[in-house]
Amino acid sequence: MGAADLRVRGLNAGYGPVRALTDVSLDVPDGAVTAVLGGNGAGKSTLLRALSGTLRFHGGAVTGGTVEYDGARLDGRPAASVVAAGVVQVPEGRQVFARMTVADNLRAGALGRRGDRAAQQAARNRVHELFPVLADRAQQRAGLLSGGEQQMLAMGRALMARPRLLLLDEPSLGLAPMMAARIAETVREINTQGTTVLLVEQNASLALRLASHAVVLETGEVALSGTAEELSASDEVRRRYLGVADEEAAADA
């Protein structure tokens, strides 16, 4: 593993009396796409919030375990300090600033990361190349964008903070298949450009096509982990997350 890998060990987290993560350990290798799969309420969003230091904004807390990135501890740090370390989250539900323009949303993304104007301009150019629509609509209010375009803006805003590790929470949620495929293609491109990605997805087939490794969370615990190839071939993953057995059963009926 390279120096910038993320290492999670024995992570426990919850919301008051609600236990959401129990003894979760995983590695996110530098340079790769790693996926976190699991059904509703499995703890996927909680895991990303725990990594990004934003759990407290949701009334939650990390109660045990460690998160190490690039050799330094991230757990216990405020969210802004995690961003400054190069770990940036795109939260679930495309939370753009609806009343602000697209350009101002992108500017807001850059606030989290110190840098000179040239670095910021390079980040904006990268975002505009990945998502030309954000350049075309720069002066439009973000709330007027389509769902897919808002997802692009949420990702673009995160990229303005120049992450080394991008945490993506269900980028395909609620999008039509063509738009979901388009977002997936962009995730691949972002990764190819050198940004490590940790991708949370309910859409297991999409995630396993993008990722090299994956973990499956079930009721807050790691139930399975392995290479994307291994998990795609696993009967349990095929049955529970890829719906393969259901299709076969339907074909037999």
Judged by the rule CB under 6 A, the positions of this chain that interact with ligand ATP are 15, 18, 20, 38, 40-46, 58-59, 202
Please give the Cα distance from 212 to 51 (Å, whole number). 20
Nearer to ligand ATP, 15 or 122 (CB): 15
Q: Which candidate, 31, 26, 36, 22, places its Cα nearest to that of 3?
A: 31
Q: How far is the CB of 20 from ligand ATP (least distance, A)?
A: 4
Nearer to ligand ATP, 13 or 88 (CB): 13
Q: How far is the CB of 54 from ligand ATP (least distance, A)?
A: 11
Q: How far is the CB of 124 from ligand ATP (least distance, A)?
A: 30
Residue 165 CB contacts under 8 Å (≥ 6 apart), including other chains: 4, 6, 28, 69, 86, 87, 88, 195, 196, 197, 198
Nearer to ligand ATP, 38 or 86 (CB): 38
Q: How far is the CB of 242 from ligand ATP (least distance, A)?
A: 16
Nearer to ligand ATP, 46 or 232 (CB): 46
Tokens of 232: 């795609």
Nearer to ligand ATP, 15 or 114 (CB): 15
Alpha helix stretches (DSSP H) within the chain: 44-52, 79-84, 102-110, 117-130, 132-136, 147-159, 177-192, 204-210, 228-233, 235-240, 244-252
Q: How far is the CB of 212 from ligand ATP (least distance, A)?
A: 21
DSSP state of 123: H
